[in-house]
Amino acid sequence: MTAPADFRRRSLTRLLAGLGVATGTVLVTRPQQVVDAIAPAFPRDRRWLVRVLGARLVAQHGAVLAAPERRLVRLGSAVDLLHAASMVPFVASPRYGPAARVSGGLAAIYAAIALAVAPRR
C-alpha cells in the first residue's frame, strides 16, 4: 500500500476514534440528558451503566486515537461487537430496548467501519 493511502487510513481511524472519545465523554458527563433523549423509560437508578459505557468508550477510543494501529483497531472492534451482542437480549424490552438498540447498533456499525478503514500495516 502506498504511503498516502496509509496516511488516509490512519487519519480516518483517528477521526473515528475522536468521535468515540467525544461520545464517551458525553455519556460520562451528561448521562441523564442522553437517556432522556434516547430512552426515556430507562431507569434512573441504572444511569451508572451509561457512565461505565462512556468510560469504556473514552479508554478504548483514546487508545486508538493515540496509536491508530490495525491490531488495536481490531481489538476495539471485537469489544464493540461483544457489546452489540450483549444488547440483543434487551432489544424487545420496553424499558431497556431503545437504549439497547441504539447502543448495540452504533457499536456494530462502528466496529464495521473501523475495520474497513483501519491501517493495513
C-alpha triplet 75, 52, 33: angle, nearest 5°: 120
C-alpha cell recorded at residue 42: 430507562
Q: What percent of the chain has pLDDT over 90?
A: 93
Q: How confident is the model at residue 90 (pLDDT cuts 50, 70, 90)?
A: very high
Angle between helices 3-29 and 47-66 (to 10 degrees): 160
Mean pLDDT of 26-55: 96
Residue 92, helix vs strand vs coil: coil
Euclidean distance between CA atoms 111 and 12, whole angstroms: 13
Q: Which of 1-10, 42-51, 83-92 has the lowest mean pLDDT?
A: 1-10
Tell me: pLDDT of 92 over 80. yes
For cell 496509536, what's the residue? 67
Q: Rounded mean pLDDT of 1-19?
A: 89
Check whether 1 has a pLDDT greater than 60: no
pLDDT band at 2 (very low <50, low <70, confident <90, very high): low
81-86 — which CB contacts under 8 Å span 24+ positions?
81/107, 81/108, 81/111, 83/53, 83/107, 84/108, 84/111
Q: Any residues with CB less than 8 A from the CB of 63 and at least 6 apart, and which?
A: 72, 76
pLDDT value at residue 4:
87
Name the least confident of 3-7, 51-55, 75-79. Answer: 3-7
Residues 24, 54: contact at Cβ < 8 Å? Answer: yes
Judge if pTM exceeds 0.75: yes
